[in-house]
C-alpha cells in the first residue's frame, strides 16, 4: 500500500497551514517562517511546531468528547461512535 501526503479532507490542508502558522507565532518563529519559508527551517523547529499541533489537536478532541459525553473516556477505551469532533473545526473547514 502506498503512502500519500494528501489529506483525507482536502479542505483541511488550509486549516492545518493556518494552525501551523499560529503555533509558529506562539513559539516566536513566525517571522522567520514568513521571510524564508518552511524549507529553510531546522528540523528541530519543525518538530516543535508539529508536536504543539498534535497536542492542540488532542486537547480539542478531548474537549469535544467531554462536552458531548459529559465525562472523559477511561484510559485505553475507544470513544463512542458519533462523539468524535474534528480538531480543525475551529478553522471553519468546508463551511
Q: What is the pLDDT of residue 57?
A: 92
SS3 73: coil
Range of the domain at 56: 12-70
Q: Which residues of the chain have pLDDT under 70?
A: 1-2, 70-95
Residue 31 DSSP symbol:
H
Number of domains in the chain: 1
Residue 32 forms part of a structural domain: yes
SS3 of residue 14 by DSSP:
helix
Look at residue 45 and tell me if it is in a domain.
yes
CA 33 to chain CA centroid, Å, is 18
Cα distance between residue 48 and residue 59, in whole Å: 17
**Is 16 within 8 Å of 38 (Cβ atoms)?**
no
Q: Is the pTM of this model over 0.85?
A: no
DSSP code, position 88: T
pLDDT at 83: 46
What is the reported pLDDT for 79? 53
Whether 63 is covered by a domain: the verdict is yes
pLDDT for 28 equals: 95
3-state secondary structure at position 77: coil
Amino acid at each position: 500500500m502506498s503512502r500519500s501526503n494528501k489529506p483525507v479532507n482536502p479542505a483541511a490542508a488550509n486549516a492545518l497551514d493556518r494552525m501551523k502558522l499560529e503555533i509558529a507565532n506562539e513559539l516566536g518563529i513566525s517571522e522567520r517562517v514568513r521571510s524564508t519559508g518552511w524549507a529553510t527551517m531546522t528540523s528541530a523547529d519543525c518538530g516543535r511546531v508539529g508536536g504543539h499541533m498534535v497536542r492542540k489537536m488532542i486537547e480539542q478532541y478531548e474537549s469535544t468528547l467531554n462536552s458531548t459525553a459529559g465525562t472523559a473516556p477511561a484510559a485505553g477505551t475507544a470513544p463512542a461512535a458519533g462523539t468524535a469532533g474534528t480538531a480543525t473545526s475551529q478553522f471553519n473547514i468546508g463551511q
